[in-house]
Amino acid sequence: MRFTVENEAFFDLPPFQPVVIRQALPQTMADNLLKALPQALPWYQARLHLYGKWRFSPRLQCWMGDPDAHYRYSGHDMTPEPWAEVLQPVLPLINNLANEQFNSVLCNWYRNGQDSMGWHSDSEPELGLEPVIASLSLGAERVFQFRRTGESRLYRSIPLPHNSVLIMPKGLQSHYQHQLPKTRKQTGHRFNLTFRRIAR
């Protein structure tokens, strides 16, 4: 860690400095959102074709946004779900923290320590060349990890507690990958909302 300013912790991923903002939303908003999310969003479990087999992805997800924030996925034009009411007051606060105008959010629900997301970068062409990504974590604390693109060595592990926002700056996605590994620890439900701007 490089330095801490009030609730902000900056991490050195040369030449980038992602930041984790603790207590990012007003506490009652974050706590109420955590309680509301299971019912408020149209969650589904995707199926992925991996190594010649169909498997359920190890988490629940849903994608929401402005009606024109669509993207192409395996030749399909995907239109986001309309913004859930519970997220409407959250979006301007996240925009303000990240100094961005996000128009969509990928929501992930990790039900226990066996739910996870493997190594990737958020580099879909629809996000433009150097997207800024803001990710809000709610519920159980989990560890988020980075490695340099093209290397298998783990570079940095960052704990993401309830009501924290991680901001990944411009350029980071092309030089680093990230993952949310499984854990054997007894772990409760965690939600992660990754705010993005789809270029129109």
Ligand X SMILES: O=C(O)CCC(=O)C(=O)O
Q: Which residues bind ligand X (CB under 6 A)?
A: 106, 108, 117, 122, 135, 144, 160, 178, 180, 192, 194
Longest dimension (CA), the chain: 49
What torsion, rounded to 10 degrees, do the Cα atoms 21, 23, 24, 29 define? 160
Helix ranges (H only) for the chain are 27-40, 90-98, 172-175
- 124 sits near Fe ion (criterion: CB under 5 A): no
The residue among 131, 136, 50, 157 whose CA lies nearest residue 90 is: 136
Instruction: Supply the minimum distance, in Å, between the C-beta of residue 11 and ligand X.
Output: 14
Nearer to ligand X, 70 or 144 (CB): 144
Of 122, 124, 126, 141, the one binding Fe ion by CB under 5 A: 122
Q: Which residues contact 166 (CB under 8 A, 6 or more apart)?
A: 18, 19, 20, 21, 134, 135, 137, 144, 158, 160
Nearer to ligand X, 61 or 95 (CB): 61
Nearer to ligand X, 19 or 52 (CB): 19
* Partner touching 105 among Fe ion, ligand X, none, CB below 5 to 8 Å by kind: none
* Partner touching 192 among ligand X, Fe ion, none, CB below 5 to 8 Å by kind: ligand X
d(CA 105, CA 84): 11
Instruction: Supply the minimum distance, in Å, between the C-beta of residue 34 and Fe ion.
Output: 20
- Which residue's beta carbon is nearest to the bound ligand X? 192
The SS3 assignment for 166 reads: strand
What is the residue whose two structure tokens read 């604390």?
Answer: 141
**Candidate segments 8-16, 32-40, 51-59, 119-127, binder of Fe ion by CB under 5 A:** 119-127
Give residues in contact with Fe ion (CB under 5 A).
Answer: 122
